[in-house]
Amino acid sequence: MLKRIVLMVALSTLAACAQPPARIVQAPPPVQLQDPDAVCLSELQGMSIQYQPVATFGDPDVGCGIDNPVKVSATGSAWNRPGVVSCPMARTIGRFEADVVQPAALANFGQGVRRIHHAGTYDCRTRRTQTQVAASLGGSKGGRLSEHSKGRAIDIMAFELDDGTMVSVKKDWRGKGTKSAFLQQVARASCSVFNVTLTPNHDRLHQDHLHLDIGPYGLCGY
């Protein structure tokens, strides 16, 4: 019995020796993400958003610019065109798409949204309030910077369903149809995701889009 055990141990030792030595693979150094957005960037990697971090830019004299911006690609994301936003804004839009837009589309149309059509993200300009538009027509400038100037805002014009059907804020906001119900539902729910939601109900400057931002002011213009 003892001989058999010794033989088995010897055989298993031989078998272990016969295996090729384990390869030692040098792990790549961890990517150094900039604070304070390190957590944000790593969370973006788990969302259905394709993006590239881009260098911080801005004009301190004017106050425009984005710290740790990301360029969200139209390929691999539901965006109809690329856009540069702050990382927290990209993350918020990702949550908005997953938690608000897709469930509302499924509930109303029985299908998802394949494209979110936006008209822009970063834009160094002051807010377009009706007073300021009137003032700028008279040649004067001024006013508080828009959240678009900080990469914290997006203007959404329409949602394109999986079958290609377009649901447009301009055409479909008002009315009693399913498209209107969907838009109203999305706008109402967006107030709990973004800090500011402006809709056609807010003023005449928002008749064709939803303005959504994560600036420091809270306003649900639904």
Cβ proximity to Zn ion: between 202 and 211 the closer is 211
Take residue 73 and report the two structure tokens written for it.
């690609």
Binding region for Zn ion (CB under 5 A) out of 3-11, 33-41, 176-184, 210-218: 210-218
- 172 near Zn ion, rule: CB under 5 A: no
Shortest reach from residue 182's CB to Zn ion, in Å: 21
**Chosen residue from 105, 173, 211, 215 binding Zn ion by CB under 5 A:** 211
Shortest reach from residue 72's CB to Zn ion, in Å: 16
Q: What DSSP assignment string belongs to 11-80?
A: HHHHHHHHSPPPP-PPPPPPP-PPTTSHHHHHHHTTSS--EEE---EEETTTTEEESSEEEE-SSSSSBS
End-to-end CA distance of the chain: 84
- 127 near Zn ion, rule: CB under 5 A: no
Shortest reach from residue 29's CB to Zn ion, in Å: 40
Binding region for Zn ion (CB under 5 A) out of 8-16, 84-92, 174-182, 204-212: 204-212
- 155 near Zn ion, rule: CB under 5 A: yes
Give the whole-angstrom CA distance, residue 77 versus residue 70: 13
Give the whole-angstrom CA distance, residue 30 versus residue 52: 17
Q: Which stretches of the chain bind Zn ion, using CB under 5 A?
A: 153, 155, 211
